[in-house]
Amino acid sequence: MQNAVPEKVIPKIAPFGGQLIQTSLSADAEAHLREAVQAVQGAQA
């Protein structure tokens, strides 16, 4: 996805589960994304 707002996208895709495999983000940004996805998935469990 390009030009997407993470706060809107993550809750929409998180219910589908899956695993984040590779991104072109910096290590810090990727870690933030992983944490955000895990938080949303945990809240829906």
Q: Is the pTM of this model over 0.85?
A: no
Name the residue among 22, 5, 17 with its Cα closest to residue 37.
17
Amino acid at 7: E
Average pLDDT, the chain: 80
Instruction: Provide the token pair at 26.
Output: 């910096």
Q: Band of the pLDDT at 2, cuts 50, 70, 90?
A: low
Please compute Rg for the chain using Cα positions.
10
Q: Which of 16-20, 22-26, 41-45 has the lowest mean pLDDT?
A: 41-45
The pLDDT of residue 1 is 56
Q: What are 41's two structure tokens?
A: 């998935």
